[in-house]
A and B are shown apart, each in its own frame.
Chain A
Amino acid sequence: MNPENSAEIISYLDQSETVKARFAKIRQRDVILEVRNLGKRFRSPQGEVDALRGINFNVHRREFICVIGPSGCGKSTLARILAGLDQHTSGEALLDGKPITGPGQDRGMVFQGYSLFPWLTVKKNVMFGPLMNGRGDAESDALLWLELVGLEKFADAYPHQLSGGMRQRVAIARALVNQPRILLMDEPFGALDAQTRAKMQAHLIDIWRNVDVTVLFITHDLDEAIYLADRILVLKAHPGEVQEIIEVPVPRPRSPGQFNSPEFRATKTRLAELIHPEPEPMPEDEQAVKPHLIRFTDVTDNVE
């Protein structure tokens, strides 16, 4: 039997001994974030809609959790509730046992869009949090964290002078300088090109490895979720509910070389099943669009 075939048999539930031991170790750590029966309901023109319903999960200290789901599953809403930017309508979310009621410096957030303050230099952007909270030597802290993301040379540049990837590095440094308990990242690399994105993923893992921080990472990219996460929280849409919490069987340390490993592919197959089930019926307004192609070029002028 060749290795190709044996790979197909592996299930995403099969974990090697080291991976099992790793998860056992994670479970022994303190629970940092506790989400109990969390729900978010809002009013829309179509009536009441459940953006999130009955969400339950725990996050352990220094765990890397990815949240994945189809568009409209409320994964961004979940991150915003945890950040304190949105209010949930039922259940509770506890950080270190204290309920989350509003934004606070114990939770850092990195947004998809460029959220840097355009009027401040890179260094002052990073100093913003410490200054707001009147804590310590803001400048030396900022320079330290800029060094960690490799941007100390750009300390005096303005955000618009940086590339997309560099701006997200600054955003990460700016969130981390507050030394949050948990770092919430809402599709932070969604707007980056594939190459920059891969670099940023590797960089994020490096940071997470060296900094005492727990990460909750929202994404819609299956590869990204598997590559980064210890566990993946799979949401489904309408209403947003937890479908499954997957323990990623891919061993650490991770590298892009693992994208083709059997564990990786098994997990990806499972995720694809969960996220893209049987095709849903098209919405009516989509059905109304029927392209009627007319030949606008010479009949003999064929391209294929």
Chain B
Amino acid sequence: MTSQGFGASIDSDARKRTLLAIGSFLLPLLVWCLVSYVPFIWHPKIEVTVPGGVDYFQVGMLVDKAQFEDEAAYTRQHNLALPAGIPANPIYLPAPHEVAQAFYTGFTQAPVQKDAPWLHESLWHSIQIIFWGFAISSIIGVPLGILAGTYAGVGRLTEPFIEFFRYLPAPAFGALAVAILGIYDGPKIAIIVIGTLFQQVLIVANTTRKLEATIIEAARTLGTRGFRLITRVVVPGILPDLYRDQRILLGWAWTYLIVAELIGTSSGITWYITQQARYQHFDTVYAAIMIIGIIGFGTDLILARLGRRLFPWDRAQDRR
């Protein structure tokens, strides 16, 4: 009975899963809207609309509620014009519509400062840093990981040191990277490589080791020897799992981006964010942070989709 129930509900299960996934995004948005648009929820500040008799008040100024009450009481006592204001949130919490607007203007309007890069220019620079960092890391890490996973000797020779090295925080190499590679993109890419490569070797080696031993033995009895065992059996055998590892590691590379971009001359999306925060354009800051999330999550979704195309035999992907 129950098993039949499970079988029949596969379709509605998929629908429910999509709805819940959308809900997981809508829920935080709803909380944000509530805090932003319902005046009696939080709103610890007062935005002055009429300065009244308070000499330092200006229209649009944000003051603490308590301070506003004090000043209002003072003007009442001295029969001065009463100030007026509406409840407001601190400047660091812009409302959703403001962020949405900043998101749009970030791409359509030139930045306030002269010569400052546009949002998309900053973003493109960051993406290039990520790409090169991840590409260099993969060119070294994936083959080394596969070798270490296939040949016990290579694994024993490399892995203890890598295991040690991966505990050294990548940003700690920032100053060193600048000394060696200059102040521009070199050290940034180096930080991403250092942050990704060592994990990558270990993860890929582990994935390689998990390949069914019988598959390699079967290939050997069919006359496969030497290097062809790697190119024709090990690599295709681990490819779907390797692809999944790479997706996770790409996310890892993004987390190192912000640190990397602060090294040397700051650049890219990080520079954009710090610059906007300096001018208290917090709506733009949120928009820029969100776009990192959108790009990261978006790439992963696309790669997951692509993976299902590329590896039709991989059943681990059906389960998602």
Contacts and interface: CB of A to CB of B under 8 A. Distances in A.
Interface of A: 83-85, 103-105, 107-109, 111, 113-120, 128-129, 132-133, 158-160, 171, 174-175, 178
B218 A115 contact: yes
A160 B313 contact: yes
Nearest to B220: A103
Contact of B221 (A103, A117, A119, A160): A103
Interface string B298-320: 00000000000001111100000
30 contacts: A83-B217, A83-B221, A103-B221, A105-B222, A105-B223, A107-B221, A108-B221, A109-B217, A109-B218, A111-B214, A111-B218, A113-B212, A115-B212, A115-B215, A115-B217, A117-B233, A118-B237, A119-B236, A119-B239, A119-B311, A119-B313, A120-B313, A128-B222, A132-B223, A158-B313, A160-B313, A171-B218, A174-B218, A178-B222, A178-B223
A115 B315 CA distance: 16
Given A117-B233, A158-B312, A85 B224 contact: no
Nearest to B221: A109
Interface string B192-230: 000000000000000000001011011111111000100
Given A103-B220, A105-B222, 6 more contacts: A117-B215, A117-B233, A119-B313, A128-B219, A132-B219, A132-B222
Grouping DSSP codes into helix (H, G, I), strand (E, B) and loop, the B interface class, with mixed when no group exceeds half, is helix
Grouping DSSP codes into helix (H, G, I), strand (E, B) and loop, the A interface class, with mixed when no group exceeds half, is loop
B232 interface: yes
Contact of B222 (A118, A158, A174): A174
Contacts of A171: 218
A123 to B, nearest CB: 14
Contacts of A84: 220-221
Given A158-B313, A159-B313, A119 B218 contact: no
A66 B62 CA distance: 90
A175 B221 contact: yes
B214 A115 contact: yes
9 interchain residue pairs of minimum CB distance? A115-B218, A129-B222, A105-B223, A109-B221, A103-B220, A115-B214, A158-B313, A132-B223, A119-B236
Interface of B: 212, 214-215, 217-224, 228, 232-233, 236-237, 239, 311-315
Contacts of B228: 132
Contacts, number: 70
Nearest to B228: A132
Contacts of A103: 220-221, 223
Nearest to B235: A119
A263 B191 CA distance: 77
A104 B218 contact: no
A105 B222 CA distance: 6
Contacts of B314: 118
Contacts of A105: 222-223
Most B CB within 10 A of own CB, among A85, A133, A159: A85
Nearest to B313: A158
Contacts of B315: 160
Nearest to B239: A119
A133 B232 CA distance: 13
B308 to A, nearest CB: 14
Most B CB within 10 A of own CB, among A85, A114, A132, A158: A132
Nearest to A107: B221
A133 B221 contact: no
B146 to A, nearest CB: 15
Most A CB within 10 A of own CB, among B219, B223, B311: B223
A111 B224 CA distance: 17
Contacts of A85: 217, 220-221
A232 B217 CA distance: 26
A114 B315 CA distance: 15
Contacts of B219: 117, 128, 132
Contacts of B236: 117, 119-120
A119 to B, nearest CB: 5
A158 B313 CA distance: 6
Nearest to A119: B236
Contacts of A160: 313, 315
A109 to B, nearest CB: 4
Contacts of B215: 115, 117
Nearest to A113: B214
Contact of B232 (A104, A114, A132, A178): A132
Given A117-B237, A118-B313, A119-B237, A133 B223 contact: yes
A18 to B, nearest CB: 36
